[in-house]
Structure 1
Amino acid sequence: MTRRNPKPLDLNATLRQVRDIVITVECAACGRSGQLDRAILLTKHGAAVTFARLRRMAAMGCDRLVSLDGDRCQTRFPCLDGESIVR
């Protein structure tokens, strides 16, 4: 039996740990948001892909991701907050 875990995950979590059909990505700094189809991500990158890697792909071209001050990009995945996590 699968049980939901309310403890949030960090960006080292893998796609295997989040079972949402649609993965939402958003950036508070830019005001951009989008949705990624989990099935397509699984086919293209596999279940072991980390959200850190997905974040880099989603924020590609963002000046805040790679700046002199370090990573100032605010791209995040709401699904890592605990609601969609299974163990």
Structure 2
Amino acid sequence: MSRKASQLDLTATLRQVRDPVITVECRLCGRSGQLERATLVKKHGAGVSFGRLRRMAAMGCERLVSEDGDRCGTRFPCLD
């Protein structure tokens, strides 16, 4: 059972969101992908935050560390 929540944000962890597949997408670049929750938990632990996962997924995005701050559009629809 997934815990969909408008109250969740990037501080949410994989422990809180139990969807078997986690979708990640960037509104600005049009990139998207799917990550298996079980693989993420095995590699990073259930306590990993979506903020950390976002930084890993967006690695190399020049918008993530621009002069104007974080302007990267990477997001997780399960947190909406």
TM-score normalized by the length of structure 2: 0.93
% same residue: 75
What is the deviation of 1:43? Answer: 0.2
- Listed as ranges, the gaps of 5+ residues in structure 1 are 82-87
- Structure with greater Cα Rg: 1
Report the counterpart of residue 32 of structure 1 in structure 2. Answer: 31
What is the deviation of 1:3? Answer: 8.4
Equivalent residue letter for 1:68: E
What is the deviation of 1:7? Answer: 3.1
CA distance in 1, matches of 2:70, 2:30: 17
CA distance in 1, matches of 2:19, 2:8: 14
What is the deviation of 1:49? Answer: 0.1
| 1:1-87 equivalence runs, <5 A | 4=3, 6-81=5-80
- Listed as ranges, the gaps of 5+ residues in structure 2 are none
The answer (yes or no) to whether the contact 2:9–2:79 under 8 Å persists in 1 is yes
CA distance in 2, matches of 1:4, 1:36: 17
TM-score normalized by the length of structure 1: 0.86
CA deviations over 1:18-54 (Å, ceiling 9, x no partner): 0100000000100000000000000000000000000
**Greater relative contact order (CA < 8 Å, ≥ 6 in sequence):** 1
What is the deviation of 1:13? Answer: 0.4
**RMSD between superposed Cα atoms in Å:** 1.6
The answer (yes or no) to whether the contact 2:4–2:17 under 8 Å persists in 1 is no
**Number of residue pairs matched by the alignment:** 80
CA distance in 1, matches of 2:19, 2:75: 15
